Structure 1
Amino acid sequence: MDAVLPDVHMETHGEDQVRTRALQVRLQGAGTSSPPANGVPAEALLTSILAAVLGSLQIGYHTGNVNAPAKIIEEFFNHTWRSRHNASLPDHSLTLLWSLSVSIKDFGALLGSLGVKYLADSYGRRNSILIVNGLSVVGACMMVASKASESFEVLILGRLVFGLFCGLVMSLNPLYIQEVSPTGLRGAFATLNQVSFASGILVGMVAGLETVLGTEQHWATMLSLSLVPALTQYLVLPFCPESPRYLLINRGEERRAEAALLRLRGPTVEEMKEEAARTQGGVTLRRFFQKRSYRKPIVLVLVINLGSQLSGFNAIINYSTKMFQAKFLQAKYLTLGVGVVNVTFTLVAFFLMERAGRRRLLLTGFLSIAVCNLLMTVVDSLLDLVPPLRTLQVLLVFLLISAYELGPGPISWFIAAELFDQPGRPLAMAFTSMLNWGGKFLLALLFPPLLKVCGAYVYLLFMAVALLAFVLTWLRLPETRGRTFDDIAEEFRGADGILLHDKAGFNTFT
């Protein structure tokens, strides 16, 4: 566990400083050490980001496509069981098996997140995304094969394999995007990962409708559609540059870093040089949790991610059709409305990220989620007495989705990449992935029984989590918008006894 993973090359020695300075001079001479004056990102940068987020599109697709056709796939489970045992599955066993089928993807993602650090440091950010994309292809093929083989176990195993892909790529994507993006666009571009994820959920919801592919004949075909973005990624991403920060700081390959920068016009050499000068070598797992300057960022990542995942959003995404169908004849189309709202507000977050900042969006999101959960409890408790309130319940669901995607949803996935320095960043992203997918797994598995036990009061649990996340974010999170990685890390280095620069209104911890 404590074996030192690939060391980060230190840039404090004279020879390395000369090489870095030479690289800086060459790039400045070419006029490409910063983004173009007109603010338009380089074509290679946009292509790289869009190719990377095809992975999150696949994840969103397999999150949304099992909601509407749940009854049809459950019947497949029952049919398979009857053909083997000449008896139907008891209702409670079928419910448990379906909960396992939904949640196993998140459990696989939890396991997959353990490999983020190794892959990112050993093979690079871009190459690692390409490597793990193979898990998506294998998982999708297994899910498709489950119908032909008449085995629900193959479907569950396929979702587990696909889950391994989820845990890896949802950390590798933000890591790659943040390291290739200019500082002023870093948050907005990282939000595109969530936009793609939400778009995938919507496409999955549409594909799962009975009027599209969510039928007894075509549900296996529906599960195969994620192969389209997966294969597209293999065609495009190999021609995109590797992270120049990884090439220069981790590998010491200045010529390749120069070539990547010339194409991307993303982070400046000066920014990377400052960060490299602060680098103190590789970080083991034990060192990651023991280092004093990492303690506050670790707590912040813990609070923001668990606050996002355990605040009720994932329960609605996974079980909205079942929540609505007892009250509405067209429950599946209301679920489709959830997907539309989801995409709409991730786009709103994309445009607000560099204007409002991470801190303000998180605080607004968590407080709004808490209020929505409180009102959901009241409304759900009164539905039997006042049936017309069911329309208000739908509105509250839409508002909760909006609040989540306005801040906690997208920011929780990339905030760790901004709060940690280069040596700790891959481990921080692995930690982020474990928290996110662990929270999703627990909620997907426990929400149905919790709803039966607690009834409407289950939303009070979500409200308490959101309020806790709001308070700790308000007290501890510094704003990261428009600041370099080294600038942000400097605020936390005060915990190691290193003197902070005097920047008015900058230090959040005093």
Structure 2
Amino acid sequence: MKKYLQDSAYENSPARLTVTQRLYFVVLVATMGSLAFGYDTGIISGALPYMGLPAVQGGLGLNPYSEGLVSSSLIFGAAVGAFLTGYITDHYGRRVTLRFLALIFVLGSVGTAISPNTEVMVAMRFVLGIAVGGGSSTVPIFIAEIAGPKRRAPLVSRNELMIVSGQLLAYVVSTIMSVVLHDPHIWRYMLALAFIPGALLFLGTFFVPASPHWLVAEGRHKEARKILEKLRETSLEVKTEIDEMLNHARETREGPPARELLKQKWVIRLLLIGSVLGIALQFTGVNAFMYYTPIILKTTGMGTSAAIAATIGNGVVSVLAAIAGIRIIDRYGRRNMLTTGLLVVIVMQVALGSVLMFVPSGLAQSFLALGCILIFLFFMQMCIAPVYWLLMSELFPMKVRGVLTGAAVSFQWICNAIVAFAFPPLLSVAGNQTFFIFAFINVASLIMVLTMLPETRGKSLETIEKEMRERFGEQEREQAVNTIS
């Protein structure tokens, strides 16, 4: 059954494309899930005003409470989806998991578009969230295992580019539809469009290969070699990677089973690092800026229309930053990227709080505040977000990579929900000092990166796993010796 699910047209496809073209095609297909992720998280801001209309006017009659339920149900679904798909991706493979998630994307998109009432909308947004969360943990793993050590960083970083591109697309689509269409059911069209990347992902999975790492772990060495022969430039690269995978698979079989591995302290340490990275990502406050930029800018006296239009600026800056991140991520270490990003984020948060507290309301304050937000977003999306997703695909051991990545990404979604819920009441209570609180949290994140995070640049996944076992396992042995002595 497992082998049947893994069959695809890829293995028998003609060798017309170059290695680079094949890799880019695989990444394009996989990141359709990321595009759907970005679109689904972004489109709700444009749909909610129309969904709030009374039922007789084509809306769902949402009140503030039900608006919060509709918005947050996707986030909670994403936390569940990221956690549950970990087992599926380890057991059935990355490609089959993406195929399964694509069907959920289509089901959730159509379900939200035709929802007759709030209860069904909340349920279908939760279903859609399962696909979003599952895709957010599976896509980076799949790309990392397909790409190889030389191209892993820039190719996995395309995941972040497609997420922010999906968000920008959502902002643009909602703006254009609101101007061009004068239909009370416009929100249904906005939500329905999300099925397109889901459908493309489903079809595309029949034309991309399975993960060679997963195939070797399953004992299907010949299939893995055939795939690598199409995805690597030289036979030496193929031989080197296959030998490394085979040696690793042999050591893994001789090692403890997955359940026992999950109890080992070095694995728990890696999961802790992954979870702390989720805190570092979300407690930058990035989603507070993405969701509430209009509210922040309106406090400076900026008009409502101009404040909403600034959201598109957020999307454009995020896309440009993600492109820049792809170009530089393989030239600098993961630690250097995160350190630079966090330093600028801290400075911009302090600057924004200072502008809002000490600069008189008016045009100058509005533009200074917007400038702080855009610089924040640029370095956030260039240096922090892509490195987070890259590390989620690198840190964890092969035998339990899906489970641990799913758990860490699920925790990240929970942090997302906490920030989204806490920001408005925190802003109302603490006022502009809220941004100093975020800066303080990010100082703690910076200390964590400098003291805990290992460097993974330029290493194969097998080498990273070996080094993590030796590094944290050695720490355990040293602690035990010190305790005895």
Q: TM-score range by the shorter chain?
A: 0.7 to 0.9
Select the residue among 114, 117, 127 that pairs with 1:145: 114
Pair 1:278–1:407, CA change in 2 (3 A): farther
Matched, 1:269 2:242: yes
Equivalent residue for 1:422? 398
Give the alignment of 1:187-206 within 5 angstroms.
187-206=153-172
Matched, 1:57 2:35: yes
Give the alignment of 1:146-161 within 5 angstroms.
146=115, 149=116, 151-161=117-127
Pair 1:370–1:79, CA change in 2 (3 A): farther
Q: Distance in 1 between matches of 2:214 and 2:90?
A: 8
Equivalent residue for 2:443? 467
Letter in 2 for 1:493: R
Q: Distance in 2 between matches of 1:497 and 1:402?
A: 39
Pair 1:143–1:460, CA change in 2 (3 A): same
Give the Å deviation of 1:307: 0.8
Equivalent residue for 1:305? 278
Matched, 1:328 2:297: no
Matched, 1:109 2:78: yes
Structure 1 residue matching 2:171: 3-state secondary structure: helix
Structure with the largest fraction of helix: 2
Select the residue among 88, 97, 110 that pairs with 1:119: 88
Give the Å deviation of 1:213: 5.9
Select the residue among 258, 276, 300 that pairs with 1:283: 258
Give the alignment of 1:233-244 within 5 angstroms.
233-244=201-212
Matched, 1:441 2:417: yes
TM-score by length of 1: 0.82
1:432-478 CA-to-partner distances (Å, cap 9, x unmatched) read: 22122111111222222222222212222221221111111111222
Pair 1:416–1:236, CA change in 2 (3 A): closer
Q: Distance in 2 between matches of 1:192 and 1:337?
A: 20
Give the stretch that moved more between structures: 324-333 or 309-318.
Answer: 324-333
Give the Å deviation of 1:223: 1.0
Give the stretch that moved more between structures: 253-262 or 118-127.
Answer: 253-262
Q: Distance in 1 between matches of 2:60 and 2:466?
A: 63
Letter in 2 for 1:481: R
Q: Distance in 2 between matches of 1:278 and 1:315?
A: 45
The question of whether the paired residues in 2 share the 8 Å contact of 1:102 and 1:444 is answered with: no
Give the Å deviation of 1:420: 2.0
Pair 1:80–1:206, CA change in 2 (3 A): closer
Matched, 1:47 2:25: yes
Pair 1:397–1:480, CA change in 2 (3 A): same
Q: Distance in 1 between matches of 2:361 and 2:292?
A: 24
Give the Å deviation of 1:75: 3.0
Give unmatched runs, 5+ long, in structure 2. Answer: 3-14, 478-485
Give the Å deviation of 1:96: 3.1
Pair 1:332–1:427, CA change in 2 (3 A): same
Equivalent residue for 1:15? none
Give the alignment of 1:340-359 within 5 angstroms.
340-359=316-335
TM-score by length of 2: 0.86
Give unmatched runs, 5+ long, in structure 1. Answer: 1-5, 7-31, 84-88, 501-510
Letter in 1 for 2:405: M
Q: Distance in 2 between matches of 1:271 and 1:188?
A: 22
Structure 2 residue matching 1:273: 3-state secondary structure: helix
Pair 1:443–1:74, CA change in 2 (3 A): farther
Give the Å deviation of 1:486: 2.5
Give the alignment of 1:316-395 within 5 angstroms.
316-325=289-298, 327-329=301-303, 330-382=306-358, 388-395=364-371
Equivalent residue for 1:208? 174
The question of whether the paired residues in 1 share the 8 Å contact of 2:50 and 2:59 is answered with: no
Cα RMSD of the aligned pairs, angstroms, is: 2.7
The question of whether the paired residues in 2 share the 8 Å contact of 1:383 and 1:389 is answered with: yes
Letter in 2 for 1:328: M
Give the stretch that moved more between structures: 321-330 or 389-398.
Answer: 321-330
Equivalent residue for 2:480? none
1:60-114 CA-to-partner distances (Å, cap 9, x unmatched) read: 011221224543333358978998xxxxx7xxxx333322222211111111122
Letter in 1 for 2:211: S
The question of whether the paired residues in 1 share the 8 Å contact of 2:93 and 2:211 is answered with: yes
Q: Distance in 1 between matches of 2:145 and 2:219?
A: 16
Select the residue among 240, 243, 246 that pairs with 2:214: 246
Q: Distance in 2 between matches of 1:365 and 1:334?
A: 22
Pair 1:319–1:68, CA change in 2 (3 A): farther
Q: How many residues align?
A: 449
Pair 1:497–1:353, CA change in 2 (3 A): same
Pair 1:243–1:469, CA change in 2 (3 A): same
Matched, 1:256 2:223: yes
Give the Å deviation of 1:252: 0.3
